[in-house]
Amino acid sequence: MISTTTNQGLHEFVQESVLRHYARPGIRALDLGSGPGAMAARLQTFQCEVTAADRDASDFVADLPHRVIDFDQPDFSSQLGTRSFDLVTAIEVIEHVESPIGFLRNVGRLLKPDGIAVLTTPNVDSLPARLKFLLRGRIRTMDACGEPTHISPIFWDLLVRQYLPRANVRLREHLLFPRNGFQLSRPIVASILSIGSRAFRGEKLLGDNHVLLLEAVS
């Protein structure tokens, strides 16, 4: 199994909760932000025709086609083939790009009319994220303790109200990982926060990561 730096179990969750419903033999699949190729290799196990793409191919080890693409380019989809893919995955990628709306717009352009995109990103609306911002004024997973290349936090309200309509894509389904708790917090803290989330109002309080299923608006 190819290693990955994403949250432990996230790839497995995406495979079991999403890919087994949409990945089929012979369809064209594209993995954006492929890194070493862990998700692209999972797509290949479903006998998809897979292409991987990332800004750098130096650590790519999967045995499948790879393209070097700068996701900050305003029209990077044209280099990969607009309306060419049945399934597009982007696991923990959108928070690394300069323009999340531009990235979403390109993802929509890559999809065939009935295609599906699967994106994940840190849940900065979770209860531990809200508490961290309240107490320290810092965004969880986006501060100095997080990944240095995280530059674009995806807030749920802005995503559904502004980003998706402007990008001409819509939300088909939304999942949270983990489903009912937190993996990035210490176990005792995670248990307390999971219980405490029931006392607060607001969406998306649970889960460290959003898992978004998107489709292009025709």
- Say how far apart CA 40 and CA 151 lie, in whole Å: 24
| 54, part of any domain | yes
Query: Mean pLDDT for the chain?
Result: 91
Domain tally, the chain? 1
pLDDT digits (tens, 9 = 90+) for 48-92: 999 999 999 999 999 999 999 999 999 999 999 999 999 999 999
Can you tell me the distance from the alpha carbon of 74 to that of 106, in angstroms, rounded to the nearest whole number?
A: 8
> Is 142 contained in some domain?
no
pLDDT band at 216 (very low <50, low <70, confident <90, very high): very high
Q: Is the predicted pLDDT of residue 187 greater than 90, yes or no?
A: no
Residue 40 lies in a domain: yes
Residue 98 lies in a domain: yes
Query: How large is the C-alpha radius of gyration of the chain?
Result: 17
For 20, 116, 167, 172, the CA distances from 161, given in Å and listed in that order, are 29, 20, 11, 15
Please tell me whether residue 181 adopts helix, strand or coil conformation.
coil
pLDDT tens profile 2-50: 777 777 899 999 999 999 999 999 999 999 999 999 999 999 999 999 9
Summarised one tens digit per residue, pLDDT across range 95-152 is 999 999 999 999 999 999 999 999 999 999 998 898 899 999 999 999 998 889 999 9
- Domain holding 97, by residue range, is 10-122+149-178+208-216
> Is 117 part of any domain?
yes
Query: Averaged over 170-188, what is the pLDDT?
Result: 80
Asked if residue 135 belongs to a domain, the reply is no
Q: Is 48 within the bounds of a domain?
A: yes
Q: CATH number, domain at 72?
A: 3.40.50.150
- Tell me what pLDDT residue 95 has: 98
> Residue 202 has what pLDDT?
60
Q: Tokens for 169, please give them.
A: 């894509």
Domain membership flag for residue 102: yes
Please state the pTM of the whole predicted model. Answer: 0.92
